Amino acid sequence: MPPKKTPTSSLSGAHAVYFLSPHLTTITATGIELLTKRVWYRTLARVRRICSGGVSPETSRTHSSPATRLPQEIVAIIIAYLTFDTRSLRACTLTCYSWYIAAVPHLHHTLSISTDPWGQGFQWPDPIRYMHMLGLLPLVKKFQVRGGSFIRVGLSPKLFNCRILRQFLALSNVQELDLEQLDIPDFVPRIQRYFGHFSHTVRSLALREPRGSRRQIIYFIGLFQHLQDLKLIYDRAELQEEPADDLTLIPPFSPPLGGWLTVMHFTRVGLLKDMIDLFGGIRFRYMHLLDVDGMPLLLDACTKTLEIVVLDPTDPRGEQISFPCKLRPTISQLCPPCLTLIYHGTSRSGY
Amino acid sequence: MSSLPDFDLSRNKSLRILEVPASSISCKSSDGSPDPASRFLKHVLSTITSTAFFEIIVLYWDCDFRGVTWHTGQPHFRELPQAVRTEEASRNHRRFEVLREMHKVRDFQLVLSATVPGCMGEYLMRMLEEAVAEEKAKKGFDDFFPEPLVLYNAQRTRPGG
């Protein structure tokens, strides 16, 4: 009959040895040996310390690097120099916890996602899922959604399910929102549910090829109560007539709109006028206008605030306001600068 | 002749800076008539009444420089043939001519700003400085149209962008 298993602690030493297998005996012996060595080396280090004049262990050669003991403010200043250097930032995060804390917001400042399944870069919704899993979404300050170049796959409610929406709502500190091919009509009945959490934080909004009537676009802009900068870039203007029920759409807020206005190839008639009327005026300090309907209206609306204006004499709509017929530039003169400007703008220069 | 009535900056009392893309001031009428860009800009300048106005910034992007090509996300600089360099010099000279004409309408500080990605900034800054030096050699600057400032505004992309 095999011996009954009893907790070793309740047995005397002789019984314990009797019940231990040879393997366990070896482990116990090794453990005792390691413990003895540890005590011996600690005692040796203490003796050496006493002999060398009693230097504290914190300043001996076993201490941590001075970099880890810098004040957090100094670390933040050092890291700020590396804001645009991903490789160095990554290296900094491996230094120690305080450096990680200082560097990680810069690493995750911008989140750019593509909704185009054949597009380059991160595909919707993988980055949101991974960053949510790691708790990094609150660090994102700039959120970009890129649509499809050939097949128009914009941001629409079809891309969301309950889980993705919950993860999307964790983007709680976004200050810059850059959305391409946003399908506003599909969102409208419950648009606050999707974008309401950006309302307090977003200061800069860029809409590229937004879909929807002009009232819907204005309503969307009015969701962000502290909005300062606005970019409206490339409008397809598919709607020939504005839907009648759009008049019931009253923007929830009148954003201050006192920063930068960039409007390029946005020729929808009446949108800017409606926006000025509904928001009770605009106060932009910087304007970059190219191929815009209502350019004089914008300049007039900001008479007291406008400080910097970017003008393009080759503006395709400039012929309406500036050039006598015989002096109009030819198409070949107009197009290359405008097209290259926009092309490079969308790809690299941040427009 | 059109009186350009709609484009009026006279009511903008706090206007400080006018920015103009470099590419837009180099267009030239095919029939030899006065440059429409020059006419437009002179008209705009003449409408400015803001006392705070003092600066015109000419914006150069990477696409404004010949000899720069992009390959797999990296810029490549190639040596320009003599004919192209002559053409570039002529284009730069034309730009300075337009700006000189504008200076006659109103006094301003001219700034040439290369707004390009960081990796190509040094090279393109040198090209701009060379253009200014060439114009200076032609005695294109004087007390009435002083030498412009040349700035480099680095475009940098944050991680994840």
Domain boundaries, chain A: 20-58
Can you give the C-alpha Rg of chain A in angstroms?
32
**Structure confidence at residue B97 as a pLDDT band (50, 70, 90):** confident
Dump pLDDT digits (tens) for A145-182: 988 766 667 889 999 999 999 999 999 999 999 999 99
At CA A263, angle to CA B17 and CA A224, rounded to 5? 105
Residues B56 and B112: their CA atoms lie apart, in Å, by 9
Q: In this predicted structure, what is the pLDDT of residue A279?
A: 94
- Output phi, psi for B110, to 5 deg: -95, 135
Percent of all residues in chain A with a pLDDT value above 90, rounded to a whole number? 41
Within 13 Å and on the Cβ side, how many CA atoms surround A192? 8
Contact B125/A at CB under 8 A: no
Question: Is 70 exceeded by the pLDDT of residue A351?
Answer: no
Alpha carbon B39 to chain centroid, angstroms = 15
Residues in chain A with CB shorter than 8 Å from the CB of B11 are 299-300, 303
Closest chain A residue to the Cα of B156, Cα to Cα:
A84
Range of the domain at B96: 17-155
CB atoms within 10 A of CB B155: 19
State the average pLDDT for chain A: 78
Of the partner residues A112, A311, A321, the one whose CB lies closest to the CB of residue B161 = A112
Helix axes A86-93, A97-107, angle to 10 degrees: 150
Dump pLDDT digits (tens) for A292-313: 878 888 888 999 999 999 887 7
Say if the Cβ atoms of A314 and B115 lie within 8 Å.
Answer: no
User: Does residue B73 sit within a domain?
Assistant: yes
- Output phi, psi for B67, to 5 deg: 90, 0
Split into its structural domains, chain B has a count of 1
Distance between A307 CA and the closest CA of chain B, angstroms: 4
ipTM of predicted complex: 0.83
User: Does residue B11 sit within a domain?
Assistant: no
Within 13 Å and on the Cβ side, how many CA atoms surround A211? 15
User: Does residue B9 sit within a domain?
Assistant: no
**Structure confidence at residue B118 as a pLDDT band (50, 70, 90):** confident
Nearest to B53 by CA among A308, A262, A303: A308
Q: Are A235 and A212 in contact (CB under 8 A)?
A: no
Distance between B4 CA and the closest CA of chain A, angstroms: 5
Contact B120/A at CB under 8 A: no
User: Does residue B5 sit within a domain?
Assistant: no
**Structure confidence at residue B3 as a pLDDT band (50, 70, 90):** very low
Better-predicted residue by pLDDT, B9 or A11: B9
Q: Are B57 and B36 in contact (CB under 8 A)?
A: no
Torsion of CA A100, A104, A107, A111, to 10 degrees: 160
Dump pLDDT digits (tens) for B7-53: 788 888 999 999 988 888 865 555 555 667 778 888 888 899 999 99
Residues A171 and B44: their CA atoms lie apart, in Å, by 44
User: Does residue B6 sit within a domain?
Assistant: no
> Which two three-digit tokens encode residue A27?
């482990």
